[in-house]
Structure 1
Amino acid sequence: MNLLPQDVLVMLKLSVARRTRWTYDQLGVALGMSMSMVHSSIRRATQARLYDEHRRRPVRAALEEFLVHGVKYAFPPDIGTVTRGVLTAFAAPVLRAEFAQNLDDVGVCVWPHPTGENRGVALTPLYRSVPDIARPGDELYDALCLLDAIRIGRVREQQRAAELLAALLRKEPDGDDAPAA
C-alpha cells in the first residue's frame, strides 16, 4: 500500500496539533476530509511506520526523515502559471525574511484559490483542501509552506526549510486538553 498526499497532511496535522487527543471525525473536519479518508490515511501511515497506533501519534523521527528526504520525490511539485492564491514556500511568512532574494529568482508561489489575496506562480498544494484549511499564523500552514520549500528549493533553501520544519515537528504538544469522543 502506497502513501498518498493526504496521508502526509494528516501526519503533519497530528504532529503540530496542540492537542494529543483527537477523533477521526475531528481530524476530518479540520482537514476537509471524510472520517473514512482520515482512517485510511492513519492505516497507510502505520504501515509505512510513520505512525504509532499505540501512542496515537506520528513517529516524529521517521516522519521528519520522510518529509525532508522523500516527499519531494514521492510528490513532486507541479508548478503552473500566474494566478491568485495563498502564499506558500519562500513567499510565506515563515521563510520570507530569510529568502527574500529567492522571490526574484523563483517568484512568489501560491496555492491557487479563488479568494486568495496574493498573485503568484501556482504551486499545486499537497492535497486539494490545503488552501481552505491552512491559515497564516497556524503551525500547520507553516509546516506545509516549509514542506513546499523543500519540494521546490535549491539545496541551501531545502536545508534551512528542513531545519525549521524539524524544529516545528519536535515541539511538544500542550497535553490532553480535549476529551476523545
Structure 2
Amino acid sequence: MKKLFKLIERSVVKINNWKHVPNSKRKLLYICPHVYKGRTIEILDGTMIKNGDVVAEMHIDNLKVDQLENDYRKLFRRLKEELQALSNLIINEKEFEEIKAYHGTTLLYPLAKKQGFTIVEMDKGPKKYFLILWENILRIVFKKDKKIRDRLRTPKECWISKGQLLQKYIGT
C-alpha cells in the first residue's frame, strides 16, 4: 500500500509542477506560486489576502517525512530550516518579491502554529472533504505504529505573510 501512495505522491508532484524550495538543503517543502481565489483572509500580522493576490502554496514532501520516521521534533526542526531557506529566497530572488503570503493545508497545523502561521478553518465543500480523506489516508499509510488507528482528523489552512517570514527567519 505504501508503494502505491509513494507512486501517487510522485505523480501529483510532477503533474502540478511543484518545486522544492530552491536553496533548501533538506528539500522538505514544495512551493507553488499562484493567484489567490477565495474569501478574504486576515493573517495575524494584519496582512489581508484577497482575490487576485499572488501567494504561494506549500506542500510537505511526504516521502521526506516518511524518512524522518514521523519524529515530530525532527520534523519541527526541518520545517524551521525550510522556512529560513524560504526567507533567504524571498530576499535574494526577484521572482518571489510579489508573493504576499504562503499557505498550505495540513493535519500538522499545530507545528505550523508554533512556527508563526495563522490557522484557518477550511471552507465547507468537496475540496475540504477530499482533503480530510486524503490527509488521513496518508497519515495511516505512513504511520509507523500500525496498531494505532484513531478517528479522522480535519486538516486546516495555515497562512504566513512574507513580512512574518522575513521577520521571524532572516538571520536565524
What's the TM-score, normalizing by structure 2? Answer: 0.25
- Greater percentage in helix: 1
Higher relative contact order structure (alpha carbons within 8 Å, sequence separation ≥ 6): 1
